[in-house]
Structure formats: C-alpha cells, structure tokens
Structure 1
Amino acid sequence: DDFFVATQIAKAAKDGGFDLVLTGKESIDYNGGSVPGLVAAMLDYGFVNGCIGLDVEGSSAKAVREIDGGKETVEVALPAVIAGQKGLVDEAALRIPNMRGIMQARTKQIAVVAPETTESKVEVVGYVKPAERGNVTLIDKDNVAELVRLLHEEAKVI
C-alpha cells in the first residue's frame, strides 16, 4: 500500500541524508498521489506537488507548479520533497542508453536494502468479479428512429 511505499522511501532518504527527494505526482496503477505527501510528512520536510519546473540554489529551491488557471512559483527550504509531473524534465534531454552504457551497468554493484517493517494500513475485505456485460446492439448511424425506440422501450432511459 502507499503507506508501506512511503515508509521505504522515507527510510532510504533519511539514512542517505538526502536534502532533495524527487518523486512522481502519482502512480499509474491507483492514481492515489499520496506517497510524496506521506514521505514529506514522515521526514518533516517541505513539500511541493505538481512541479513542472525546479531551480535549486544553495539551501532552497524555487519550484514552478501548475494550479487552476495558470502557474505558481513557490520557494521551499531544503530538505524538501518535490512531486514532479510532465514538464519537469525536457523530453529532448532524455536519452535512451546505448549498448556500451548498458554493458557497463551490468558490472555495477546493486545495494540491497532490507525493507523497513511497518504495520499495514490496508485490509483486504474480499474480491468481487465485475458483472458480465450484456449483449450489444449495433444500430446504423442513420437510423435515429430505431435508436430512440430502443432507448425508450428496452433501456428505459428516456
């Protein structure tokens, strides 16, 4: 769950002594968006969400974030957690590694870190399969009268 993930990131950031923790705004699986905020709370760091621009100078960072109807520039003291989104990194600057880089990466040591034990905040109650879909009736786009009849008599929505 998101609490477990945030606990692991917070532990790694604290043990590593990092002043800046960059995360994504939300995950693609559940779209919860709670992990960056939880990490910031666990570490007692400043937090900027939805960051599309970042400039770090000394012990502070200026972040540009999207808000309703525009952009906002905020300054946050380091250490901080920044939740970035599309626009934070210029896509032209992203590179696909070449074969030499991939082969060199094979020889690098990977530090395996034991997970931090934490109490689960989620309880699985059960799983239910979604209801099966009903039959689909295809209607010619020019047959509006048939569509209205079916919506009225069978679907009973009008």
Structure 2
Amino acid sequence: MAKIFISLGSNIEPERHLKAALIDLDYHFDELELSSVFESEAVGFDGTNFLNMVVAAQTEMSIEQVVSCFKQIEQDHGRVKGAKKFAPRTLDIDLLLYDDVVSTLPIELPRAEILYNAFVLWPLAEIAPSLNHPVVQQSYQTLWDNYDKQQQSLWPIEFNWSV
C-alpha cells in the first residue's frame, strides 16, 4: 500500500464540491486523514476565494491510476477538461506525494507547489508535520515554519462536514 497526499481546492460552490470530493475519495481510497479547511485568496488570477485542504490516504493503485481517478472525479463534478489553468474551478484535485517517489513522469512528484503555495504547505504540515520532503529533506513543519507567510493570505475556517 502506498501513502498518498492529495490537495483539494474549489472556488465555485466550494463547500458542496469539497464534500462531494471527499465522498468520492473515501470510495476509492483507504484510511483518509483530513487537514483543516483553509480559505485563501485566488493565486495567479483575480477571482473569488478558494477553500483548500490536504487529504492523506492509502492506495494499491499506481500513480497513473490515481491521477486518472482524480481527473474523473474532477470531471464528474463539473471541471471542464482543458480549461485555463488560472481560472475559477469547481474542483481541483492534485497528487502531491506518492510515498517518497521522486519523478517527472507520468507527473512531477513531489508536486512543486508544496514548496511555494501556502494553501498546500500549511495543511500538509498540519497532517504530516514530521514527514520529510523527499527532495529538500526537511520536514513539512520546518518548511512551513520557514515559509514567508506574507506571500499569500490564508486562514483556517470552521467547516461543517454534514451533507
């Protein structure tokens, strides 16, 4: 079994889409661990605020199968295939880590945005503080402690998980 870390984000009906994504992830993966939900300003474009979180899970799937599963979940919840990168979205699901795999194909692992997006690093540090980044060999808590928190506005929010 591989341990994976997943980034979830939405700024179109975000509460509904995060809840729906978690139901789907729970169906496909084992032992979900959830970070807090964080609200952040849009990065890279002017848009409404995003809700973001990180989920850890266990899987027997290959990296390719995991990514394919995420793309299907995104599409099932209204994400348009081939839409602009920096634009509002119903659901964005990214594989951040697959065990300690370092690769460029089929996707880049670990995902580069771990090191520069607060909305990924803070929730990752929350659920895996002592885990080391497989390239920079620092814990996620250390990386978060050293992160320039003036770069991006981000704050934890109360989130009602009842459907």
Q: What is the TM-score when the length of structure 2 is the normalising length?
A: 0.24
Larger radius of gyration between Structure 1 and Structure 2: 1
> TM-score, normalised to structure 1's length?
0.25
Structure of greater relative contact order (alpha carbons < 8 Å, 6+ residues apart): 2
